[in-house]
């Protein structure tokens, strides 16, 4: 995973070989939180490199997995997800808010119930 992330950080444009790896991201997220930091950084790198490809291909699945695991994450994991959302909203195509809707609603619910307010304020 670290090698994958390093390649993304040193790539100027999205090559087909890198785009072919996109479908491998959701299963990595579903495997648990052991590699969450690296997987989130990989997603962020893809969002910055080719936002439309990510949003249209694996976006809905990534959002669904992140929303489902959000309540189980520690504060550090939630912060990583929130930073991913922020990056995605800034760099993503116009349909990004619709793709992120499930995750945004999950975050807003956590803020409304008071469980996420301190985490959100640390951004």
Q: What is the mean pLDDT of residues 19-32?
A: 92
Interacting residues of 107 by C-beta distance below 8 A, sequence separation 6+: 70, 81, 82, 85, 116, 120
Q: Is the pLDDT of residue 27 over 90?
A: yes
pLDDT digits (tens, 9 = 90+) for 38-97: 999 999 999 999 999 999 999 999 999 999 999 898 888 989 999 999 999 999 999 999
């Amino acid at each position: 995973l670290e090698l994958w992330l390093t390649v993304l950080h040193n790539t100027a444009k999205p090559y087909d070989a890198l785009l072919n790896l996109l479908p491998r991201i959701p299963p990595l997220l579903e495997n648990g939180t052991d590699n969450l930091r690296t997987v989130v950084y990989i997603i962020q790198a893809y969002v910055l490199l080719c936002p439309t490809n990510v949003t249209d291909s694996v976006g809905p699945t990534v959002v669904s997995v992140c929303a489902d695991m959000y309540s189980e994450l520690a504060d550090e994991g939630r912060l990583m997800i929130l930073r991913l959302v922020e990056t995605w909203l800034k760099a993503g195509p116009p349909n990004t808010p619709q793709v992120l809707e499930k995750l945004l609603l999950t975050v807003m619910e956590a803020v409304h119930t008071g469980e996420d307010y301190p985490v959100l304020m640390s951004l």
